[in-house]
């Protein structure tokens, strides 16, 4: 007969009970962590899709304003949002195609529309564009200059450009030139057109 059996049983029972309690605690912690991760993933998807939809809508509107055509944003992998990229599709009158299939000038218009769409979603007090119109033809440069002029009521827009259409649409123009190895600055402010009395 084992005289220590009762004591060993009690010790084993208490040890098992402690392990069982700890196992249950760990399972609760695991469920809590998994739930937290799922909530973060869900919120991340929701925030991303909200921003994606807003930028996509602005992109379509701005592209239509600049060109009169249709443009869309598409997800490369809709089933796994963060495993793919974003595709820009545009129609310049020859069918809706991915931006990489368009000419250089058309890609520039599409890219400029996308940049302006992202900026429109998160407004700022001023914008600085460095030769944003460099690859645009005359028609699209005119459209972009007029568009930026309309946006200048909401924010200060500074555009570095060589196009005279931007000068014609600007409220203030600064020119920089070199004279004798020294940079000189001139400025031009169009006269206000008097209103009829």
Q: Residue 161 has what pLDDT?
A: 87
The reported pLDDT for the residue numbered 168 is 84
The per-residue pLDDT for 194 is: 53
H/E stretch holding 156 reads: strand 156-160
CB 141 within 8 A of CB 163: yes
Residue 190 has a CB neighbour count (10 Å cut-off) of 12
pLDDT at 196: 58
Mean pLDDT by 10 residues, the chain (197 residues): 74 84 89 91 90 93 90 89 87 86 83 86 85 83 87 87 85 88 87 56
pLDDT of residue 106: 85
3-state SS assignment for residue 191: coil
User: What pLDDT score was predicted for residue 191?
Assistant: 63
| Token pair in block for residue 93 | 């009158």
Question: Residue 77: its pLDDT value, please?
Answer: 87
Residues 6+ apart with CB under 8 A from 144: 66, 112, 132, 133, 136
pLDDT given at position 90: 92
CA pair distance 157, 167, nearest whole angstrom: 13
């Amino acid at each position: 007969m084992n005289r220590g059996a009762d004591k060993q049983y009690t010790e084993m029972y208490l040890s098992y009970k402690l392990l069982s309690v700890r196992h249950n605690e760990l399972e609760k912690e695991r469920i809590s962590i998994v739930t937290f991760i799922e909530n973060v993933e869900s919120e991340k998807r929701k925030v991303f899709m909200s921003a994606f939809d807003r930028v996509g809508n602005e992109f379509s509107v701005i592209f239509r304003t600049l060109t009169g055509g249709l443009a869309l944003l598409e997800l490369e992998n809709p089933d796994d949002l963060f495993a793919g990229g974003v595709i820009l599709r545009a129609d310049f009158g020859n069918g809706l195609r991915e931006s990489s299939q368009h000419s250089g000038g058309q890609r520039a218009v599409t890219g400029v529309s996308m940049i302006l769409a992202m900026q429109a979603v998160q407004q700022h007090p001023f914008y600085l564009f460095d030769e944003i119109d460099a690859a645009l033809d005359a028609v699209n440069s005119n459209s972009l200059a007029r568009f930026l002029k309309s946006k200048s009521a909401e924010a200060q827009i500074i555009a570095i450009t060589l196009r005279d259409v931007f000068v014609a649409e600007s409220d203030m123009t600064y020119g920089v030139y070199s004279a004798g190895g020294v940079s000189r600055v001139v400025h031009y402010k169009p006269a206000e057109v008097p209103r009829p009395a």
